[in-house]
Each structure stands twice: as structure tokens, then as C-alpha cells.
Amino acid sequence: MVVCPARLPPRTADGGRETTRQERMKVRGGYDVPLAGRPAAEVLALPEPAALELPLRARRLHFADVRVADGARVGAGDVLAVDAEHFGAPLLAPRGGTVRLGGESIALSDLTVEDERPWRPGPDDAAGASSPAAARCRKLVALGAWQFFEDAYTGELPDPAAAPRAVIVSTTCLEPFGARGDAQLARRVAALARGLEHLQSLLEYQPMYLVVPAVRAALAEEIHDIVRGRAQVEVVTIPARYPHDNFALVARRAGLKRGGGPVWALRTEGVLAVDHALTADRPCTVRIVAVGGPGVARPAHVKAMAGYPLRAILRFCGACDAVRVLAGGAMTGLEIAPDAHLHAECTAVTVLPDRPRREMLGFARAGADRQSYDRTFLSRLRRPFAEALTTELRGERRACIACGLCEDVCPAGIWPHLIHKLLSGGSPEGAERARVDLCVRCGLCSYVCPSKIELMGQFIEAQRAVEAERAAEREHRAGAAAQAAAARQEVRP
């Protein structure tokens, strides 16, 4: 990772480039995942839907507190439900319509296309803010822009009332097939600049790290021009290799240790949402969604909204008949049904051809059409190509063969094969000592594993168990401290 406040690093007297401490930092692991189906940079507009069905559950949020009645008429931008457990994050109506309540969703019918009403602070918003920055954070929550934020280490929605140690902004998404920064920033660089200014207004003296890929492009030059002269903003140049845009990796290499306080993180779409909310005073109901993968004939970026029927998106992009769909990228996305509807946090859809039967004599094929990280297939004799990934199981699952490929690609510097063996052998304590907590959940270990072991899922479960145990220990220590204090109070004369 290279951190530099200007466009180019300084040069020596003889014209050579000086080597800074940050440039000497070595990045480890990563892999340029060569998958077919990259969405085109052009952003297409979807047809207006006949109806919307907004799921009450998203990736992190559960809008359990429904604020509308069945049969009620709502306008665009109105609050349909909120997640009281996540700072009152709202589920907003993307269009005006008539409410139909279901078990796990809110449907809108008789849709009307209308402008959202400008935001006006309510009594709680006006009285509850302790500072102008706090008032702006509450406004971002109310207008749906806060849902684009996450904690750099946990991925959870950060507390808008807790001041961060730093903010990480990434202009790129290296996971296939996340929403591309160049697609979102087409003719919107000025909005990015305004969004960064708004983010700085939420801070005092905390730094902001702007992540850009190490590529030569006009857009990258424009981004450098935007931040030149901003004392709080440092440009972080990363290899254009997955997953070096991972927020936990960027935070770790910037010296922001875990447990030292919150680190806000957001991508291009988040900065644009901040600008839309704080500049235009409008709710964030429409977003750019990347639709990619070999299961669609026309991978593209589309303007979509929560509740849009996924079937209509698949038809629009020319999906094949039998597909498996992921909400998110190919490496970390979660499977959803093809007849589902977009949830409020969805910014990417990955579509794979679904072949339930195994390939005939797949174990005996030479692999001219497949990628292999260790280059053992016949494809190593071909020129570089993108593999058309499917759901087909090619070969059998096997035990770990200690090949070390997972260790080679791991960007966190841990030994996935060792942690797997410790967990499989019933030693969660050993896995904790082997630093399973450092796993950044990129999925590369699972991707390159020749034995097809689902390492990432195993590590996520282990991390949750470790965090639950640590939380129980903290609660126990707090309870013991409270009891000790009460005992001292009793014996005090």
C-alpha cells in the first residue's frame, strides 16, 4: 500500500523517486480473479415497475418497526419501517403507492413517479443533536444515506453518534462483480468532491483515507486533483488486485488498530449518497446496481431501487433459464431466490448458470476451459481468459492436502489450512491463537482450494464464536467489578 498526499511521490536531486516508509510496506496475497461477465461501464435505466415489494430484511438491517398501515397511501421518500436496533435506520418508499403489508415485506402498488419531498427535521432531530456534525449524521440516517456506511473491521453499521478515529473512502470495488467506481462516477466527479467535503464536515481533526487503484487513467487524475491541498485527506494507492480494497486491510496498514475506536468506511456509492442527502436534502431511494456474471448475456450497471423484482432485472440483462443468483459479488455474495426482490442494501447481483448435474467425467478433463491458481490445468498454455464460472461441482470434495495455496493468496497473513485443521480437530482455542480473528472474509482461500473446502464459512463461524466468548468475558468482568464496588460501598462507614 502506498500512502501519499500528492499526485506523485517526491523525487531525489538526480530525478529518481524517493522511497517513503509507506512505500516500503509490502502487500501480501491477493489474486486477480479472472471471471467472465464483468458489467459494462454504461449505466442503464430499468423500466418503471408495475409494483414494488420491499423486503424487511437486508444484509445487516431488519426493519421490524412498521410505520404504515395496510391500504395507506404513501409518497416517494416516506418512511415505511425502521430498524430500531440500528439507530432508527429507515426503509423508504422509492415511489408513491398504496401499501400492502405482508409477512416479511411491504408491497407498493398503484405506483406514481413523483419527486421526493425535501427533508424537514422533526422535533427529535432538532433537539437531539449535540453539534452541527451530529445533526448532519442524524440527517444522513433519516434520508437513508447512513446505510452505505460500515465499520472498517466489523462491517456493521457504525454508531452515528460516536466520533470515528478516521474515515476510509474507496473509489474502487475489486470484487467481481461489484459496482464499478468508474461507472458510478461518469459525469459525477463534482458530486464526489461535494460528498468528500460533507464527510470532512462530520470530522474534527480525524484523517480521511481515499483509496484509489494503481492505474493510469484520466478519472484517477481527476480524483487526485480533487484532494490536492486537503490537509485531512491522504490518497492510498493499492494494487488493482482483489481484495486489497478491503477496508480492514486498509485500516490495518494505515496503523488504525482494531479495538481503538470506530473507523467509518464507505465506497463511491456512499459518498454520492452523502452528497445527495446533504446537498439536495433528498432521500436516497435509487442506486446503481451491478448485474454481472456468466449467467447474463448483457452484464450491465442499472439504476434500480429497493423492492424491484429480480426476475425483471434478469430478463432485462438476458439471463439464461436456470440460474443461481447472489446478492453481492461472486466471492462474498449470499444466495437469493431468482423470484426475490432487491433489498435496501443491495448494490450488486451476480448471476451464475445453474447446472445441478455434475459434468460427465469432469475429473478426467484436462481443464482447457478452467482457471487454476497453481496452473496445473491445460489452460496454462492459453492466453489469459476469463472463466465462465458455473455452480457445477467438478470433482469431489476432499480433505485438506496442505498445498499452501490458501496461505499464498491470503492477504491477512494467516495460515488458513492450519486454522481449518484446528477447527476440524475441535480446537477453537488453537484457532484463536492462530489469529482466525484476522480473517477479512474475502473468500480467496475457498476459491483457490483444490479440495473445495468452504474455508471462509468455517472461519466466519469461528470468528462469531470468539467474539461471543469475548463479549461474555467482558460482561463477566463488568459484573464482577460492579459487585466489588457494591461490596465496598456496603462496608464504607
Could you report the per-residue pLDDT of 161-175, keeping only the tens digit for each? 999 999 999 999 999
Q: What percent of the chain has pLDDT over 90?
A: 59
Cell of 157: 453499521
Q: What is the pLDDT of residues 363-374, one digit of tens each?
A: 666 777 777 888
At residue 321 the predicted structure's pLDDT band, cuts being 50, 70 and 90, is confident
2 has pLDDT over 70: no
The predicted pLDDT at position 479 comes to 84
The predicted pLDDT at position 21 comes to 32
Cell of 326: 447472489
At residue 197 the predicted structure's pLDDT band, cuts being 50, 70 and 90, is very high
The predicted pLDDT at position 472 comes to 86
125 has pLDDT over 80: no
3 has pLDDT over 80: no
The predicted pLDDT at position 348 comes to 95
More confident residue, 408 or 118: 408
At residue 124 the predicted structure's pLDDT band, cuts being 50, 70 and 90, is low
384 has pLDDT over 90: no
Average pLDDT estimate for 460-472: 88
Mean pLDDT over the full length of the chain: 86
Average pLDDT estimate for 266-285: 94
148 has pLDDT over 90: yes
Q: What percent of the chain has pLDDT over 70?
A: 90
303 has pLDDT over 80: yes
More confident residue, 472 or 379: 472
315 has pLDDT over 50: yes
At residue 219 the predicted structure's pLDDT band, cuts being 50, 70 and 90, is confident
At residue 182 the predicted structure's pLDDT band, cuts being 50, 70 and 90, is confident
The predicted pLDDT at position 16 comes to 37
- 214 φ, ψ to 5°? -80, 70
> How many Å separate Cα 474 from the centre of its chain?
29
Min mean pLDDT across 119-133, 276-290, 447-461 is at 119-133
Min mean pLDDT across 55-59, 315-319, 354-358, 474-478 is at 354-358
Average pLDDT estimate for 249-260: 90
pTM of the predicted protein model: 0.88
Average pLDDT estimate for 337-348: 95
The predicted pLDDT at position 196 comes to 93
**Structural domains in the chain plus CATH codes:** 149-280 (3.40.50.11540)
280 has pLDDT over 60: yes
The predicted pLDDT at position 390 comes to 80
Q: What is the 3-state secondary structure (H, E, C) of the chain?
A: CEEECCCCCCECCCCCECCCHHHHCCCCCCCCCCECCCCCCCEEECCCCCCEEEECECCCCECCEECCCCCCEECCCCEEEEEHHHCCEEEECCCEEEEEECCCEEEEEEEECCCCCCCCCCHHHHHHCCCHHHHHHHHHHHCCCHHHCEECCCCCCCCCCCCCCEEEEECCCCCCCCCCHHHHCCCCHHHHHHHHHHHHHCCCCCCEEEEEECCCCHHHHHHHHHHCCCCCEEEEEECCCCCCCCHHHHHHHCCCCCCCCCEEEEEHHHHHHHHHHHHHCCCCCEEEEEEECCCECCCEEEEEECCCEHHHHHHHCCECCCEEEEECCCCCCEEECCCCECCCCCCEEEEEECCCCCCCCHHHCCCCCCCCCCCCCHHHHCCCCCECCCCCCCCCCCCCCCCCHHHHHCCCCCCHHHHHHHHHCCCHHHHHHCCHHHCCCCCHHHHHCCCCCCHHHHHHHHHHHHHHHHHHHHHHHHHHHHHHHHHHHHHCC
